Structure 1
Amino acid sequence: MAELLKVEALRAGYGAAQVLNGLSLALAEGEAIALLGRNGTGKTTLINSIVGVTTWHGGTIALEGRDITRAAPEQRARLGIGWVPQERNIFRSLTVEENLTAVARPGRWDLASAWRMFPRLKERRANLGNQLSGGEQQMLAVARALMLNPRVLLLDEPLEGLAPIIVDELLAALRRIVRDEGTAAIIVEQKARKVLAVTDRAIVLDRGSIVHQGASAALAEDDHLLEAHLGVAAATVRGHAHPT
């Protein structure tokens, strides 16, 4: 697979504080990466740095071979960086449909495909953003990012604070987005076992550096590594893991 996104020796943070310490990674066309780590290890900082909202201290970021290291966030969005932040940032005073059409760019993701991916949103297309449940707002945030027709989709803890039934529904959608649609993605998530099931590769951060990377399936089966790096309880019986 061709290299789509390349981060090389990146040093970034907030103001004078450096969080990422010379971090390098590559994302291939159609690949999905689970970005894992305990709280405060630099996961969100890496996502924010790719988006362009942190302080750059060194290194490079390239999208399809084009250097975007010093590009403004809106330029990165136009070039193909789609972002679903923790805060969701939907337009609360617009309807669901208006949220989607306001940011739409030409491509395979349009209203019809968004409705197919998230039938709940179609049912609530006339509702305002502030009338949706937390889970529906998260679905809207993902659908809105897709309407930009991004080359790379970045999701920062998309399952956080959601009811179990919504978690399963959103995970199923993410699986279709990355598996069936072949959308390249980096997904930050605390629910390690769940996100490992829908990604190809896992990267674990600690103190702003990569301490593990490998196949998602292999990490999901390695209780020792999960416990050591993420504090995930080992399965008491294989196939019946404690929730993470």
Structure 2
Amino acid sequence: MAELLRVESLKSGYGEAVVVQGISVSLQAGQSLALLGRNGTGKTTFLNTLVGATRRHAGRIFLGSVELSTLPPHRRAEAGIGWVPQERNIFKSLTVEENLTAVARPGPWTVQRAYEMFPRLQERRANMGNQLSGGEQQMLAVARALVLNPKLLLLDEPLEGLAPIIVEELLRSIARVVREEGMSAIIVEQNPRMILPITQRAVVLDRGAVVHEGDSDALLADSSQLDRWLAVSRG
């Protein structure tokens, strides 16, 4: 597989505060990566830096042959970055369908295909964004990123605060996208046991630096490492 993403010695943060402390990571085309760590370890800041929403202090970011390091956010999206932030950022004054058609770009992920992935959205296609439940808004945020037909999908805690039945539905959809469809993705999630089974690689951050990198299956099977870095036990 060809290398899709390469991050070299990245340092970034907000203003003068440096949160990400020299991270280097790479991702092959078609691979999915679980980005793990306790709260405040730099996971969201790392994703925000990839999309151009932080101050980069040092390091370089490449998506394929394109260097993203100094590009504004809209140019990074054009280069192939699809982003689902914690805040979702859907257009609440537009309908579900307008949210999708406003950003859709040519490619395999069409609006109709997004509806097939999330039937709830098709049922509510005429509803305004602010008329959707939290889970439906999250589905819309993911669908909107998919119809951009990105090369790399970034999901920042997509399951946070959702009802268990919605978590299961959304997790199945994400698994389909990254496992069956082969979408390259970086997924931030607080619960490693949810996300490790559907990703191929895992990176654990602590204090803005990489403290573990390896196969997702191996980390899932290593309770000592999970407990050490993520305070997770088998119980």
- TM-score, with length taken from structure 1: 0.95
Give 2:153's aligned residue.
153
Match of 2:185 in 1: 185
Question: Which deviations, in whole Å up to 9, do the C-alpha atoms of 1:80-111 show, x marking residues without a partner?
Answer: 00000000000011110000000011111111
Q: CA deviation at 1:66?
A: 1.5
TM-superposed deviation, 1:199: 0.4
Q: Secondary structure at the match of 1:8?
A: strand
Structure 1, unaligned runs of 5 or more: 237-244
1:105 maps to amino acid: R
1:181 CA displacement: 1.1
Which residue pairs with 1:117 in the alignment?
117
2:198 partner SS: coil
Trace 1:28-67 onto structure 2 (pairs within 5 A): 28-67=28-67
The separation in 2 between residues aligned to 1:208 and 1:134, in whole angstroms, is 30
Match of 1:79 in 2: 79
- Alpha-carbon distance in 2 for matches of 1:133, 1:222: 37
Q: Determine the structure 2 residue equivalent to 1:221.
A: 221
Distance, in Å, in 1 between the alignment partners of 2:103 and 2:65 is: 25
Structure 2 residue aligned with 1:235? 234
- After TM superposition, give the deviation of residue 20 of structure 1 in Å: 1.1
Shift of 1:163: 0.6
> How much has 1:227 moved relative to structure 2?
0.8
Q: Which runs of 5+ in 2 are unaligned?
A: none
CA distance, structure 1, for counterparts of residue 49 and residue 177 of structure 2: 23
Equivalent residue, structure 2, for 1:199: 199
Q: What is the rounded CA distance, in whole Å, between the counterparts of 1:171 and 1:209 in structure 2? A: 27
Report SS of the residue matched to 2:160: coil
- Deviation, 1:222, is 1.1
Shift of 1:22: 1.0
Partner of 1:166: 166
Q: The residue matched to 1:25 in structure 2 has which SS?
A: strand
Quote the residue 1:15 is aligned against.
15
TM-fit CA distance, 1:73: 0.2
Counterpart-to-counterpart distance in 2, 1:23 and 1:65:
19
Contact kept in structure 1, 2:66 and 2:79, CA below 8 Å: no
Runs of 4+ in 1 over 4 A off after TM superposition: none
2:99 partner letter: N
Per the TM alignment, residue 21 of structure 1 is displaced from its structure 2 partner at its CA by: 1.2
- Structure 1 distance, partners of 2:164, 2:197, is 16
> Identity of counterpart residues, as a percentage?
63
Distance (Å, rounded) in 2 between the aligned partners of 1:135 and 1:8: 35
How far did 1:67 drift? Answer: 1.0
Match of 1:240 in 2: none
CA contact (8 A) 2:94 2:128 kept: yes
Deviation by residue 1:156-187 (Cα, 9 ceiling, x = unmatched): 00000001111010000001100111100000
| CA root-mean-square deviation | 0.7
Partners of 1:122 and 1:192 lie apart in 2 by 31
Shift of 1:198: 0.8
Q: How many residue pairs were aligned?
A: 235
Task: Quote the offset at 1:126 in angstroms.
Answer: 0.8
Q: Distance in 1 between matches of 2:174 and 2:70?
A: 30
Shift of 1:197: 1.1
CA drift at 1:6: 0.5
TM-superposition CA deviations, 1:216-239 (whole Å, max 9, x none): 11111111111110111x223xxx
**Matched-pair contact (CA < 8 Å) for 2:36–2:202:** yes
Q: Tell me by how many angstroms 1:74 deviates.
A: 0.3
TM-score (norm 2): 0.99
